[in-house]
Structure 1
């Protein structure tokens, strides 16, 4: 690594002396006609990147809570850690789409250069966390629909490609995820009603497979 830095410094020095090599390129002159996302749509997409990252941090807090030795619910912890990874991947997909469409030609760091603090940091039991998770997923789903409305109901440009992408890539996954969480809440609620803390313990073991 040090040798590589040395080569770069040497080339820069040679370029400074000879005037033939340069360590910085000029800004390329690229036509902008291909960039057709309208600003309200681009702005909504950028806002949703932050929403996905916020959801990821909230799920990390859930996973950390159920990983504590005083709680020790590895099944729930694993469920929430996986959800955090999924939300982060969603944010990356949104960034990738914006880059593909030319909506983020610079300042990508502004989307992730923020301090995100989870709204909730501890839970009384597993079912309260699952209920919060379902509310969080419903909130994210609504935000995705808001993005679609901003990009479709626009007098300047109906971005049908983005709407189709969000419908096929995200909405079905969101709805399936919400249904899965609702089912888990139903199962755990019944188990705790009959068996209390033992019901949660058995449910957590079931999550581990």
Structure 2
């Protein structure tokens, strides 16, 4: 009888405690925030959102490159190093764009609608030279996409836009395009040097080139 009484009292205490906590919970009303500060127009917002996906696809492609050259059957740690670094850079670009959208009030949807399962463009490469060439093509594609955003957002009247979003264009050209052009030039130089080394020394040329990449030597 004593056990039953204790059990009933315990249930009463738990229920009472839950009721007290429920009453103490603070339910804040939804705040109505003025939207006058949100100045990005729809064409620019859509273009910038789509760029997040482009950056993530580039990141996944570089991750695939890094993984490929890390295989024991390939064993090119220098190539793996630079491609993994590039993967992280592209991911950071995606994060920066999301941050900009948040700053401008242009990200109101669920994040799952913004990121659509990005997949690498390829998973294997014949050699380091072919991977570098694919990387240069990928960077040129991303650059064209960024330039397209700038073109849409700096021309009043284009695609329904009624003003020049000079801040967005300046941010893109300052934070992204300079890095893109520098990266493209660096890849073009690497392709040139590796091609010459392979013409002269064959597979040994790629092996030596990989060692220089691993050591961070200028190429």
**TM-score normalized with structure 1 length:** 0.89
* Contact persistence 1:12–1:21 (CA under 8 A): no
Q: Does 1:96 align with 2:99?
A: yes
8 Å CA contact 1:37–1:157 kept in 2: the answer is no
**Equivalents in 2 of 1:206, 1:41: separation in Å?**
42
Deviation, structure 1 residue 105: 2.9
Moved over 4 A (4+): 10-13
Aligned-residue offset at 1:25 = 3.7
Q: CA RMSD in A?
A: 1.6
Question: Gaps spanning 5+ residues in structure 1: where?
Answer: 1-9
Counting matched residue pairs gives 196
Name which one, 1 or 2, has greater alpha-carbon Rg.
2
SS at match of 2:114: helix
Cα distance in structure 1, aligned partners of 2:172 and 2:19:
49
Distance change >3 Å, CA 205–CA 32, structure 1 → 2: same
Query: Shift of the alpha carbon at 1:140?
Result: 0.2
Are the aligned partners of 1:49 and 1:95 in contact in 2 as well (CA < 8 Å)? yes
**CA distance 1:13–1:38, shift in 2 (3 Å):** farther
- 1:131-163 CA-partner distances (Å, limit 9, x unpaired): 000000000000000111121113212100000
Equivalent position to 2:49, from 21, 46, 51: 46
Are the counterparts in 1 of residues 57 and 121 from structure 2 also a CA contact under 8 Å?
A: no
Indicate whether 1:68 and 2:71 are aligned.
Answer: yes
